Structure 1
């Protein structure tokens, strides 16, 4: 898999120090979909060099309310306020709006509330189109991303997770370019987004839905054979789900999605030797060798 650009751009200069009290941390109660856009809004604010007082005068919004918005405290913010903030911080509006809208619905806001919140705010500026290299990158990896997400999610949540991934990547494109490897940066976004939507059992993701679409089960005509194979596959999937994250990803890509070592390497942004090593390690964890019985007497 060849990327259509150089993914090793130099990191941007740090933002100048600002006077006054620092922005507090994000609230622990912020949900995953709310966090998806709020993290990057906070990053844009911190990189801007503006103080909360200066930004509040531009929006306009009271300093205390602006602090609450950027920390995820209080009521979920209306789009017209987030939109004014995004314009001042020079953020791309289209992906931000889609992420804001999904988080609003996840926060039990009605479609009518979402509509009322955004009626007066245009979605045309700034940055109406993604960065030049964003779309070629998306075309290169989107199919593989959907197959990975399919191992954990049904069609609707799967598509939402992948679409959210590319919106988050658009919002954080400069950080992606400044990262050591954009493929790894984007994969980490995908994994976090998929896992946030995946049911978990004892802290580990459930792979149960994927078992029904495996070749081993799908190609069996006899019902008893299908039932037996299904039970075996479910047990295997439970074992895979208990693997550490990096081993789980390799096993899902290699054995559920059917990617080659080279394709898996390109998606994860790691050398092929690492993929081979992780796969061998995962197999040893799932199928440990029998204990030695010792020398015969």
Structure 2
């Protein structure tokens, strides 16, 4: 895959003024699973040019309730109203339903509640197949995305995070294609989804679980050698977690996943020069904070 140089971000078109009150921000207490479908729905609404009054008239639902739904305020919304809004906003309902139902479980809704407010025929009434170019892109990068996610998450969480990533991309595929680099847009969605599920310490993601899967440890049989290597590996991973986001991603892909500079460039949608520069800066930082390995001369 050829990686183009990083182009400048094109100026956005001015958004026409809408009559009525501006849509407020998402509530602070809205979780990441809820935002996975709420943010794309807000984006679709803002791009539609509709006012809340017009949307209210089309779906025959109170304007105040639509505003609450689009801000994540109040009780978790039932599927019927989410689906009505999705139809009016031209959103594919199959990935939306998957994300909605997953967020419902995380909002402590029971399976009976989810099934009770869901008419499965309306979920599957429209094609459950994503656009061809979305499917081709998924086939191209899914296994690489999974390797990145495995550095932070256990197997079940990894599968869910990658699946959610492609559902979110399906919901916002037009925006992804309109972005100056679709690969970078998609990577940002993956990163946001993975980091939302990753344990954090002092505001930085933890890489500790990935240490036990490293090749260096898998090839050791002596308990003492294993313990020493594990200590060094954990020190390295702790230091990597302190890197700025882009440098962290480069080092995870290079050091843990074993990708070439060219492959990292293609995945991140960043120029080859940028990837190499990020790796150099990250390596200098790691060398400055990780003590050199002990030798036999150092042993008392």
TM-score in terms of structure 1 length: 0.91
2:176 counterpart residue number? 176
1:22 counterpart residue number? 22
Contact 1:87 1:126 in 2 (8 A): no
Following superposition of structure 1 onto structure 2, how do residues 78-227 of structure 1 map, counting pairs within 5 Å? 78-119=78-119, 122-126=122-126, 128-227=128-227
Q: Please list the CA deviations of residues 35-69 of structure 1 after superposition, one character each: whole Å capped at 9, or x if unmatched.
A: 11111111111111221122112212111111100
**1:120, distance to aligned residue in structure 2 (A):** 6.1
1:240 counterpart residue number? 240
**1:128, distance to aligned residue in structure 2 (A):** 3.4
1:281 counterpart residue number? 281
RMSD over equivalenced CA pairs, Å = 2.1
Aligned CA distance change for structure 1 residues 174 and 14 (closer, same or farther; 3 Å): farther
Contact 1:15 1:48 in 2 (8 A): no
Q: Separation in 2 of the partners of 1:120 and 1:255?
A: 45
Q: Separation in 1 of the partners of 2:48 and 2:63?
A: 16
Tell me which stretches of 4 or more aligned residues in structure 1 moved more than 3 Å: 10-17, 125-128
2:298 counterpart residue number? none
**1:288, distance to aligned residue in structure 2 (A):** 2.1
1:259 counterpart residue number? 259
Q: Separation in 2 of the partners of 1:276 and 1:125?
A: 48
Q: Separation in 2 of the partners of 1:238 and 1:252?
A: 12
**1:12, distance to aligned residue in structure 2 (A):** 9.0
Q: Separation in 2 of the partners of 1:174 and 1:13?
A: 16
Using the TM superposition, name which of 122-131 and 94-103 deviates more: 122-131
Q: Please list the CA deviations of residues 176-204 of structure 1 after superposition, one character each: whole Å capped at 9, or x if unmatched.
A: 11111111100000001000000000000
Query: Please, which runs of 5 or more residues in structure 1 have no aligned partner?
Result: 291-297
Q: Separation in 2 of the partners of 1:158 and 1:29?
A: 24
Using the TM superposition, name which of 48-57 and 274-283 deviates more: 48-57
1:56 maps to 2:39: no
Q: How many residues align?
A: 286
Contact 2:239 2:289 in 1 (8 A): no
Aligned CA distance change for structure 1 residues 219 and 120 (closer, same or farther; 3 Å): closer
Q: Secondary structure at the match of 1:118?
A: coil
**1:15, distance to aligned residue in structure 2 (A):** 5.6
**1:145, distance to aligned residue in structure 2 (A):** 0.3
**1:80, distance to aligned residue in structure 2 (A):** 1.1
TM-score in terms of structure 2 length: 0.90
Q: Separation in 1 of the partners of 2:126 and 2:90?
A: 7
Q: Secondary structure at the match of 2:212?
A: helix
Query: Please, which runs of 5 or more residues in structure 2 have no aligned partner?
Result: 291-300
**1:275, distance to aligned residue in structure 2 (A):** 1.1
Aligned CA distance change for structure 1 residues 11 and 134 (closer, same or farther; 3 Å): farther
Contact 1:11 1:179 in 2 (8 A): no
